[in-house]
A and B are shown apart, each in its own frame.
Chain A
Amino acid sequence: MRWLDDPILDMQHLTMRFGGLVAVNDLSFKAARGDITALIGPNGAGKTTVFNCITGFYKPTEGMLSLRHVDGASFLLERLPGHSIAWKAKVARTFQNIRLFSGMTVLENLLVAQHNPLMIASGFTFLGVLGLPSYTKAERAAMDKAKYWLDKTGLLARADDPAGDLPYGAQRRLEIARAMCTEPVLLCLDEPAAGLNPRESHELNELLLSVRKDHATSILLIEHDMSVVMEISDHVVVLDYGTKIADGTPAEVKHDQKVIAAYLGVDDRDVEKVEAEVGV
């Protein structure tokens, strides 16, 4: 149980209510440093809500989300303003419905992702307006980093095309590249394989594995595509109706009775028994 020893993200008793609706109910889990942790569950289980809480788009009703860097710095994500979560706590994310800057070029998308370091290099714009060489140097470094990620995601040839012109699979990859340009310690991917064909989702697996290996980035993943989940993840957390029903390695989760019941339903004879077990 690696995730209990050195968790990068420690979620405790997370609850998110929207009026009377409890989207996430007392959810606790740990994600290990350097792991690919998958968050799965049927539609409406509250997975994206959990992501929105982690990345600051929602303020959780209750609970604590603590993130610890390798140097020991720790952050309580629920207390940070949204933009600091990306910039200070180094958590990046992608979106279920792709959110690229479609009217900007692929390269510009990656430069926007490096906004904060570039902003400092440009002396909060004041020095940049004068065109000082220090900023030019910083911008060149940013371009090099962008090029590195474009190369890695196979988008280098399309660097000067508008992001909105890319095919769907390429847009997904660009969104990951853009998130990686912020140098995250935790990368949250919301259904990265949705709408990809088998070859593309295989490439995605390779990309994610190399992100973890080469960049010391832990990955938290929401995914419905089990070929991705079972193949690359080290740890799977299963949600249903906002509560955790299973937590373990992919092999354990695959054979968990509750998980099978949540996904496939149960025999009519067993409904009462299972309901009593789950606590509905």
Chain B
Amino acid sequence: MNAPQPTTATMTQQRPAPANGDFTTALKDAGLATLVTFGLSIPILSFRTDQSQANELYLRPRWGLVLVACALVFALRFVLRLYGVRWAAARQVARSRKEAIRTTTEKPRGLAHRLLALAVPVFLGVALAFPLLSYFAAGGLTESRYWVDLGILILTYVMLGWGLNIVVGLAGLLDLGYVAFYAVGAYSYALLSTTFGLSFWICLPVAGILAAFWGILLGFPVLRLRGDYLAIVTLAFGEIIRLVLINWVELTNGGAGITSIPRVSFFGVPFTNEEGGFASLFGLEFSPMHRVIFLYYLILGLALLTNFVTLRLRRLPVGRAWEALREDEIACRSLGINTRNTKLTAFALGAMFGGIAGSFFAVRQGFVSPESFNFLESATILAIVVLGGMGSQVGVAVAAVLMVGGPEMLRNLGFLKAVFGEGFDPNEYRLLLFGLAMVAMMVWRPRGLISHREPSVALGVRKAISGALVKEGHG
């Protein structure tokens, strides 16, 4: 991957000045890119549907915009082609030299690594103090609700990411239907609490166990599949669970979902404005935010539990077997590792954390419906794991903040109005910008934010293992 590219390198070294050939190829390339842009912009940019005074739709041609877009692409591509290639080649050579030194000599402790060592306590501190910070930032308890809610959302995805990381990152099994276990957990709590009146604290572990059970049930038939085939079957499993939830109306109330799920209590003490409620028990003035903040710390605790268990397991034989399975399944079998059981434990454990997160989701929302468990959720969670760097706990946490918090942050792009004029609505471009950021990420860090691997055990100094050596698993 990081092999030096001698052809481009030597070529540019031999010809420092852009020759005529370069100019023509750049021109051709830019022309081609412009043509593609033109083709794409016809359906997207060239016409806009507007409403006239009489409420009739009419098409407003915007050929000027198409022209501007084409011109921009042409100029950019031309410049990039002419100068960018040479610059990239020079960088590539420099980097591959650095890489060669790095893998053969000492541990790669660059600036990024020192930052990483700092990142964990900083993240933990911010996460712990987040409700307080948002209280001061927003200037009031009720005003900080948006921020604490966002925090809860992000932490839910951090937990889901960490759960899926066991399956995808450590064991190397591509699971596209992770949301199914999230749904199992959510519906377990919703049904058990509304039907039998069980409390949240009993349902939480039960939901986890039920989800793990479904994980094993799915695992048995599919774990002999590998790679793409496993991905397809897990994808189908996710869809099946969702369709069952929609169609088994007697049990799940179908697409209408289950409403009025009991709220969370402070270990039995309800968050109500009554005698014996949380506020009166602690002599506080009642505020609905107490419950939200409690939920925040609850999901923080659950996420940290997931992290703790995962880090612990990585140092145990089962965790090492998962990683070995990701590296080479055949070698594992030759060493007497029962690969099926090992895969099943990874599946069951990942599913269990998904289920626990699901029951948290149900208690927070007070309402579950199949809508919340579509494929997009699975894709988001998987994207978090891949973006974070498969197997890296810190990477997954950072990626969850970026993936969930990022689009939210992009709502606050008011300053762009100053650039593009008053008519510009940044909200409309939110997902576009987000997509661009993802593409950029995959170009610059194809192995995720944190691509290196920390060894689980060492005789001397722990040295990070370059991502180039670590395999991604093949099912």
Contacts and interface: CB of A to CB of B under 8 A. Distances in A.
Interface stretch (B241-249, B320-328, B429-437): B320-328
A161 B103 CA distance: 10
A105 B470 CA distance: 10
B339 A83 contact: yes
A92, A100, A104, A178: residue with the most chain B Cβ atoms closer than 10 Å: A104
Interface of B: 103-104, 309, 312-313, 316-318, 320-321, 323-324, 326-328, 330-339, 345, 453, 455-463, 465-466, 469-471
A83 B337 contact: yes
B465 A103 contact: yes
A111 B470 contact: no
B233 to A, nearest CB: 23
Contacts of A95: 330-331, 334
A134 interface: no
Given A86-B336, A87-B336, A161 B330 contact: no
Nearest to B309: A129
A123 B331 CA distance: 24
A107 B103 CA distance: 18
B457 A107 contact: yes
Contacts of B103: 165
Contact of B317 (A57, A83, A122): A122
Contacts of B326: 103
Given A103-B465, A104-B323, A129-B316, 10 more contacts: A86-B336, A99-B331, A100-B328, A103-B327, A104-B455, A105-B463, A105-B465, A107-B458, A111-B320, A135-B316
A113 interface: yes
Given A86-B336, A99-B330, A104-B455, A162 B469 contact: yes
Interface string A103-139: 1110110011111101100100100110100010000
Interface residues of A, number: 46
A87, A100, A101, A119: residue with the most chain B Cβ atoms closer than 10 Å: A101
A99 B339 CA distance: 16
A99 B333 contact: no
A144 to B, nearest CB: 11
A54 B326 CA distance: 25
A161 B328 CA distance: 18
A107 B324 CA distance: 13
B249 to A, nearest CB: 40
Contacts of A57: 330, 333-334
A107 B455 CA distance: 9
Interface of A: 55-57, 82-87, 92-93, 95, 99-105, 107-108, 111-116, 118-119, 122, 125, 128-129, 131, 135, 143, 147, 159-162, 164-165, 178-179, 182
A246 B66 CA distance: 80
Contacts of B334: 55, 57, 82, 86, 92-93, 95, 99, 179
A47 B328 CA distance: 23
B312 A101 contact: no
Contacts of B338: 83
Contacts of B337: 83, 112, 115-116
A117 to B, nearest CB: 9
Q: Nearest 10 CB-CB pairs, A to B? A: A103-B470, A86-B336, A87-B336, A101-B327, A164-B469, A118-B317, A99-B331, A112-B324, A128-B316, A162-B465
Nearest to B466: A162
B317 to A, nearest CB: 4
19 contacts: A85-B336, A99-B331, A101-B323, A103-B323, A104-B323, A105-B457, A107-B458, A112-B335, A115-B324, A122-B316, A125-B316, A128-B316, A159-B458, A159-B460, A160-B455, A160-B459, A160-B463, A165-B103, A165-B104
Given A125-B318, A129-B312, A182 B331 contact: no
B333 A160 contact: no
A133 B324 CA distance: 25
A211 to B, nearest CB: 17
Nearest to B308: A129
B289 to A, nearest CB: 35
A92 B335 contact: yes
B335 A107 contact: no
Contacts of B471: 102-103
Contacts of A116: 336-337
B455 A115 contact: no
A82 B224 CA distance: 14
A101 B457 CA distance: 15
Given A101-B323, A103-B469, A118-B317, A111 B335 contact: no
Nearest to A120: B317
